Amino acid sequence: MRKVVMIGAGGSGKTAIVNRFLTQRFTEQYIVTIGSQFAVKTVEVDDGTGKRVVVKLLVWDLAGQERFDFIRTSYYKGARGALLVYDVTRKSTFVELPKWIAETESALGTRIPIILLANKVDLVNERVISTEMGKQFAEEHGLNGYLETSALTGQNIEEAFHLLARESIK
């Protein structure tokens, strides 16, 4: 079993992404995640050598609000990868990204695979963070991937978890 964490600012769509991954549905009503919640799902991925392997993901959805900073670090223990989520319609969620990378490294004492997810790309007219900005951030910070996602439409949700599963077994 591979423990992975969903990290990023509150309201960026982490819970919606996890729910879409688990149920293939989108729900508009969400309650703020307090501390964390977790779910388990099995995926089948290519291990890099052409072999298919089954990876059981234990997905921890960590609270993004600042008021949970003190408790959140304890939930990183044992994590083998992270999906770092920001909302393309809210610049503040993008500006905070380095804080999340630093928090992860500080809590674990090492670097784990991190995939950057530019979420809510379905809100085309409200978008303030471009694809180029997201890709450049991922590259400059040595992240393991960049995907544009939408929990509403399901765009790249499965792909995000499959990519993270592949990176976590390397």
pLDDT digits (tens), the chain, 170 positions: 899 999 999 899 998 999 899 887 777 655 544 444 667 889 999 988 889 999 999 898 877 656 555 566 778 899 999 999 999 999 999 999 999 999 999 999 999 999 999 999 999 999 999 999 999 999 999 999 999 999 999 999 999 999 999 999 88
Beta strands 52-62; 79-87: pairing state: unpaired
* Cα–Cα distances in angstroms (integers) from residue 63 to residues 69, 72, 124, in the given order: 8, 7, 26
Host domain of residue 91: 2-169
Using a 10 angstrom Cβ sphere, with 0-12 exposed, 13-18 middle and 19 or more buried, the burial of residue 140 is exposed
Taking CA 95 as the corner, what is the angle to CA 133 and CA 111, rounded to the nearest 5 degrees?
Answer: 85
Q: Do the beta carbons of residue 58 and residue 168 sit within 8 Å?
A: no
What are 164's strand-pairing partners? Answer: none
**In the chain, how many domains are there?**
1
Q: How far is residue 116's CA from residue 84's CA, in Å, rounded to a whole number?
A: 5
Q: pTM for the full model?
A: 0.90
What pLDDT is attached to residue 64? 61
**What was the pLDDT predicted at 27?**
73
Q: Which CATH number is 69's domain given?
A: 3.40.50.300
Q: How far apart are CA 147 and CA 155, in angstroms?
A: 9
